[in-house]
Structures are given as structure tokens and as C-alpha cells.
Chains A and B, each alone.
Chain A
Amino acid sequence: MSEVLTVPTMAEMMAQGQQPEVLFWVGCAGSFDDRAKKITKAFVRILNRANVSFAVLGTEESCTGDPAKRAGNEFLFQMQAMMNIEVLNAYEAKKIVTACPHCFNTLKNEYPELGGTYEVIHHTQFLKSLLDEGRLTIEGGQFKGKRITFHDPCYLGRANNVYEAPRDLIAKLDAELVEMKRSKANGLCCGAGGAQMFKDAEPGNKEVNVERTDDALEVQPQIIAAGCPFCNTMMTDGVKNKEKEGEIKVMDVAELIANAQDL
């Protein structure tokens, strides 16, 4: 299958004297990680379907600096931030959407003081707004009646109090949304945050992602929905650890919506 994705870059847009409605910040995972690239593409397919005018930075995008900052390297973080801000400001970016809660949090909360003030939204919030404005219709399709549980990403939920947008989208699929015992503000981390993704865990008696997968398995879902590429990896590994990959899929909310519409 050779699909045609329309993915203009900010540079191309600018050359044509155009300003997109929204800048899609892809993020490092979304650009390079094989699993996360699928989420990126699913999101782009929805944007294309809804005729959203968007653009990416492409090769001009660089890490927001989130993992460096959480690891304690404030120098590296601020260097990344200031370089990105120069690029974003040069393109006069106003509104940024991203599928990564870590990029979302950093761009939204930590860039303004360094000179980069934008309206930053998570892709689930953006999809919800498309739905509310009637620019996108969602039908359950293959997910109708499926048991889906949503794992709250820490940097979307607790860090920024976004709990409802992803749930509203799942509800639109006519799926059966089941909540884990630890959810929303009480949600348990997948184990990847704070730069843990890039290092081995300290000695303990269990991996955090396995603990979290146990939470999910308890409510017997057919799909574990995520809203973060790192959570996605951790939960996928957790499900494999439990040898349940045959029965339970880990999917991003954008993938659910794209697949439901056979995009």
C-alpha cells in the first residue's frame, strides 16, 4: 500500500506566503521511533481527512529538551529551548499541536519564560475541537463495543489537568470505556518519565510498566489506549511481559480514530 500523506513543512508554507492554522510538533519519538511513527501518521491522516491546514518543522525541529531538563541538565534544556524558540518565532508560530505530552508540557509551560509563547495543545484536545466544530466525524467502526481503558500520561494528566479530551474521543467510538483503579489524578506512571526512558531502572522488585500493566489487565480491556509515545512503548512492553500481546492491543487515541474511519 502506498499511501499519500500531505505533510507540508513550515519552510514550504512560508515560501508560498502561507501560514498554517496549526504547527504540528512531531517530537523525537514521533519522528524516529518505529512504533511512534505510526501514531504520527495516523494523526496526519486525520488532519488530511479533516482538511486541516497544518505544517511541520521537518528537519528544522529539534528535541524540546524535556529529557535533559528532567535529568537535571538545565544548560542543555535551555540551549535546545532557545534554538527551537528562534525557529518557531521566525515562522511566527501561534498554535502548536503535538502528540507527545512531554513536548506539550515543555512547549506550553517552560518555553514562555524563555521567549516562546504559543497556544500549545495536545493532539487529543485538537481532535476533540475538530469534532466539536463539526470538521471531523467519528464513528466506532471496528471499535464499537470494545472494552478500552485509557492510561493517563503523567505530563498530560497530573501535570496539566487534561483528563477529559482523550476520554471524550474514546466515548465517541461507541466503545466501552473502563477505568483502572488508579486513573486520572491518581493514575500510575508508566515508568518512562523523568528521563527514565533512557536509562535502566534502579534496583527494585518490579518494573513500573509491569505494575501499571497489571492495573490495566485487572479491568480486562481489549485495548489499552494511550496518549503518549513513551507510555505506548512501556505499556506495549508490559503487555508482552504478561504474554498478552495476542489479546490486548496498545494503541494511541489518534490511531483508534484513524482506524475506526479506515483511514
Chain B
Amino acid sequence: MGYLDNILFAIILCLGFGFFGVNIKKIIRNIKLGRDIDRSDNPSARWGNMALIALGQSKMVKRPVAGLLHIIVYVGFVIINIEVLEIVIDGLFGTHRIFSFLGAFYSILIGSFEILALLVLVAVLTFLARRNIIKLKRFIHSDLKGWPKSDANYILYFEVALMSLFLLMNAADFHLQLLGFGHYEKAGAFPVSQFIEPIFNGMNESTVMLLERAFWWIHISGILVFLNYLYFSKHLHILLAFPNTYFADLNPKGKFDNLESVTNEVKLMMDPNADPFAAAPVDENAVPVKFGASDVQDLNWVQLLNAYTCTECGRCTSSCPANITGKKLSPRKIMMDTRDRLEEVGKNIDANKGIFIPDNKTLLNDYITPEELWACTSCNACVEECPVNISPLSIIIDMRRYLVMEQSAAPMSLNAMMTNIENNGAPWQYNQQDRLNWKNEN
């Protein structure tokens, strides 16, 4: 009978990690639906970016208030997880505070966890206030209507609950330690929960013990539930920020990729020795090249990783000149739409035994409208702002490429501009022979 707890704990742990593993596999499969792109170059610069931007949060602090609060939650989250290690060992082996043999060091650990937990609570409550009371513009934006708004709040409620449970658990433990009850030997320091401890005064000792166990169980189960919630939530960024910053584009932001498929054709066109009547080489298995992107499978896997990484903070949208001036384009929505469509395609594949059955929908039009795409000035403000180096711009450009090269669906005035370039080498209707006239004009 004594092992019942441990077995139950092991089962919960396995289920928690098992489900999470299944969903992570699904995410990896979905990301791999994207086109291939080589991002294996310059590993040292990539590790550097990851260390600085993901681990070091260097871009978060560009907005100091949110940045500082975020660092508190981030550091708290990482460090308090050391405590989770102890909880897991205790749970599996039926021990109680297994690390307490560390003595004074253990007190320092527990003490700092408590202080961090309190700071996290304060930060998270501030975040809730920013979203629901102060109502910062980027958090009440139309992008976030419905699930995204709830998702953001659920994450914060979760964190409030987990931190509170942690402190309550310690408070009950400390109360029992003070009474010298059962196996609750003096261990740890409780700079925060000592102030909660008096609430147990006057309670029956076994009731307090029951409460302590209840807090412990709910806390660890809550962590496992939260872990599994990640897959359904924007909160995935806590994991994906790392690969995302690693695989981000290292080129100057102004450099857009040159489509290789186009290069081949243009070279052939310009080659005076090419035989215009030569039959194109026939490759039975060749998939016709599609220029640009109309759906998620046309994007590259880094762009799809970007979509799963986006935590919908909206810094991109709040700095986008189009969005600031009331246009429909919102870089954040580009990322959210890409993820939603990718999830839809993934579910389609799950439902059809591993094969995608066309559903008469595409990322273009069903999620992202041409009006949004044409409002972009390609100014790179969104890319600059993103704390984890996501590029909404690259998706916008790939979709414009589809509109122009596959559908000839550019706005009329842009067609006129392009015709001018084609005919006379300038976006306006001037003769190329007049290019140097300015020299003699006054």
C-alpha cells in the first residue's frame, strides 16, 4: 500500500511527458511540411544569437518595463524548475525534500525560490493588469479576439496558481516543521511563506499535513498540465525561442533571397547559345515549380518554425507603419494565420492517415488577404522588433511573389510600374536614352 503514491506519481509523470512528446512530434512533422532551406552555415554566429537573444533576452529589454518583468518571470521559471527536480525525485521514491541534506545551501535554494516566486507573482499580476485593466493597445488589438486573448490570460492564471501553490505548500511544510510533526524535519528557509504560515494556526495537524500533500500534488500535476497546454498555446515560445533564434536569417535585413528557380530560367533566357527550340528535359517525377507561396507548404520550414514560436506579443504590429496608420496589415496576424493554417493542414493529415487531402482552402485568401499583403512597405520594423527574430516580412514577400508571378494579380499601378521597368528600365515612363539629361539641365 505504501507504494501506491509512488506508482500513481510515476503514471502521472509518464502520461504528462508522454502526451507532450506525442504533440512535439506532431509539431516537428508540421514544421517539416515546409520547403527546405539551408541554415547550417556559420554555427558560431547562430549559437551567439541564441545565447544573446533567447537566453540573454537582449531584444526584450528594448521595451524596458515589459522586458524587466519578462526577465523576472523567465528567470523565475528556469530556476524554480530546480525545485521541480526535487519534487519529481520525492514523488518517485517516496522521500521528502531529498535535497535537504545540503543544509545551509538548501536553505539558500529554497529561500531564493520563494523570493523568485513572489517576484514572478508580482510580475504576472502586472502582466494581467496590462492586458485587462490598463488595456495596452497591442493587447486589445483585433488580432487577439477570442481564443488568443483567453489563451494569454489562461497562461497568466496558470502561473499565478502554480506560484501560489508552491508558496502554500512551503507554508504548510514550514508550519509542520515548526511543530516537529512526523517526518517534517527542519529544512529550508521560507522568507516568503513564513508570512503565510500563520493561516494554519489552530488547524488540526493532520489536516495541515493533508493540505500540504494536496498543494504538493496539485502543484506538480499543474506543472504537467501546463506543459501539455503549451502545444495548444502561444506559450510554446518558451521552448521554440531557442531553435528559432538559432535558425534565424543572418543576412542584412535588406537582403531578400533570390529565387533559384527563377535564376535558372532567366539565365537560360539570356544565354545567346541556348537553343530556343530544344525540348525541355523531361523528368517524370518533377513537381512543377510554384513561384512564391499560396499555402503553408510553399513556405520554408524556418518560416513555419517562426509561426509556432510567435507568442503574439504584438511588438511587430505596434511598430508596423501600415498598422499604425489603420491599414489591415498586422505582422502578428500574418504569423498567427500561418500557424492556424499549419495546424489545420496537420489535422487534415492526421485525419487522412498521413496524407494531405486538398480542402479547397489556402493560407492566401482564406486567412491572409491580398489587401494585407499589399499594405507592407518592407521596412523591416517588424523583424527588428521581434524579440525572437521572427520574420513576418519574408512570408509577406513570398505571398506577393505568388500573387504576381502565378496569378498576375498585382495592383494595376504596380503592373504599370513593372511594365515601365521592362520597357524602359525605370519605374516611370522615361526613355532610357534620357538618363543622363540631368547633367545639362538647370
Chain A residues packing against B (C-beta within 8 Å): 1-3, 5, 7, 9, 26, 28, 30-33, 37, 40-41, 56, 58-59, 61-63, 65, 67-76, 78-80, 82-83, 105, 108-110, 113-114, 154-155, 158-161, 185-186, 188-189, 191-208, 211-212
> In the bound complex, how far is the Cα of B437 from the Cα of A61, in angstroms?
13
> In the bound complex, how far is the Cα of B410 from the Cα of A35, in angstroms?
28
B254–A79 CB distance below 8 A: no
Is B321 part of the contact surface with A, judged by Cβ < 8 Å? yes
Beyond A63-B421, A75-B405, A188-B321, list 14 extra A-B contacts (CB 8 Å).
Answer: A9-B436, A56-B436, A63-B425, A63-B426, A70-B397, A76-B422, A82-B266, A159-B253, A186-B381, A193-B379, A198-B416, A202-B327, A204-B322, A205-B325
B328–A202 CB distance below 8 A: yes
8 Å CB interface, B406-426 against A: 410-411, 413-414, 416-418, 421-422, 425-426
Is B292 part of the contact surface with A, judged by Cβ < 8 Å? yes
Closest to A40 in B: B438
B319–A71 CB distance below 8 A: no
A72–B376 CB distance below 8 A: no
B425–A62 CB distance below 8 A: yes
> In the bound complex, how far is the Cα of B326 from the Cα of A68, in angstroms?
25
B252–A160 CB distance below 8 A: yes
A72–B254 CB distance below 8 A: no
For this complex, 16 residue pairs linking A to B, each with C-beta atoms less than 8 Å apart, are A37-B438, A63-B425, A72-B397, A78-B262, A109-B252, A110-B256, A154-B377, A159-B380, A188-B319, A188-B379, A188-B381, A201-B375, A202-B375, A204-B322, A206-B326, A211-B321
Given the interface contacts A189-B377, A202-B374, does A71 sit within 8 Å of B438 by beta carbon?
no
> In the bound complex, how far is the Cα of B324 from the Cα of A79, in angstroms?
35
Is B344 part of the contact surface with A, judged by Cβ < 8 Å? no
Given the interface contacts A41-B438, A67-B427, A188-B381, does A211 sit within 8 Å of B404 by beta carbon?
no
Is B183 part of the contact surface with A, judged by Cβ < 8 Å? no
A193–B255 CB distance below 8 A: no
> In the bound complex, how far is the Cα of B218 from the Cα of A60, in angstroms?
75
Is B235 part of the contact surface with A, judged by Cβ < 8 Å? no
Q: Which residues of A contact B404 (CB under 8 A)?
A: 71-73
B325–A73 CB distance below 8 A: no
Is B301 part of the contact surface with A, judged by Cβ < 8 Å? no
List 4 A-B pairs, minimum CB-CB distance, nearest first.
A159-B254, A72-B400, A194-B378, A62-B425
> In the bound complex, how far is the Cα of B155 from the Cα of A188, in angstroms?
32
- Report the minimal beta-carbon distance from A230 to chain B, rounded to whole angstroms: 10
A71–B377 CB distance below 8 A: no
Closest to A31 in B: B435
B426–A193 CB distance below 8 A: no
Q: Which residues of B contact A205 (CB under 8 A)?
A: 325-326
Q: Which residues of B contact A70 (CB under 8 A)?
A: 256, 378, 397, 400
> In the bound complex, how far is the Cα of B262 from the Cα of A72, in angstroms?
12
A71–B436 CB distance below 8 A: no
8 Å CB interface, B427-442 against A: 427-428, 430, 432-439, 441-442
> In the bound complex, how far is the Cα of B253 from the Cα of A7, in angstroms?
33
Q: Which residues of A contact B402 (CB under 8 A)?
A: 72
Closest to A192 in B: B377
Closest to A5 in B: B439
- Report the minimal beta-carbon distance from A9 to chain B, rounded to whole angstroms: 7
Partner of B413, one of A9, A62, A199: A199
Is B371 part of the contact surface with A, judged by Cβ < 8 Å? yes
Given the interface contacts A159-B380, A202-B374, A211-B325, does A74 sit within 8 Å of B421 by beta carbon?
no
Is B265 part of the contact surface with A, judged by Cβ < 8 Å? yes
B401–A109 CB distance below 8 A: no
B426–A32 CB distance below 8 A: yes
A80–B258 CB distance below 8 A: no
**Quick one: CB contact mask for B239-279 with A, threshold 8 Å, 1 for yes?**
00000000000011111101100110111011000000000
A195–B322 CB distance below 8 A: no
Given the interface contacts A72-B292, A206-B326, does A59 sit within 8 Å of B379 by beta carbon?
no
Is B384 part of the contact surface with A, judged by Cβ < 8 Å? yes
> In the bound complex, how far is the Cα of B326 from the Cα of A207, in angstroms?
9
Partner of A159, one of B252, B322, B418, B430: B252
- Report the minimal beta-carbon distance from A239 to chain B, rounded to whole angstroms: 17
Is B403 part of the contact surface with A, judged by Cβ < 8 Å? yes
> In the bound complex, how far is the Cα of B267 from the Cα of A82, in angstroms?
8
B436–A58 CB distance below 8 A: yes
**Quick one: CB contact mask for B377-394 with A, threshold 8 Å, 1 for yes?**
111110110000000000
A73–B405 CB distance below 8 A: yes
Given the interface contacts A7-B436, A63-B427, does A71 sit within 8 Å of B326 by beta carbon?
no
> In the bound complex, how far is the Cα of B333 from the Cα of A37, in angstroms?
40
Q: Which residues of A contact B291 (CB under 8 A)?
A: 74
> Which of A41, A109, A192, A197 has the largest number of chain B CB atoms within 10 A?
A109
> In the bound complex, how far is the Cα of B224 from the Cα of A155, in angstroms?
46
B326–A194 CB distance below 8 A: no
Is B335 part of the contact surface with A, judged by Cβ < 8 Å? no
Is B220 part of the contact surface with A, judged by Cβ < 8 Å? no
B439–A7 CB distance below 8 A: yes
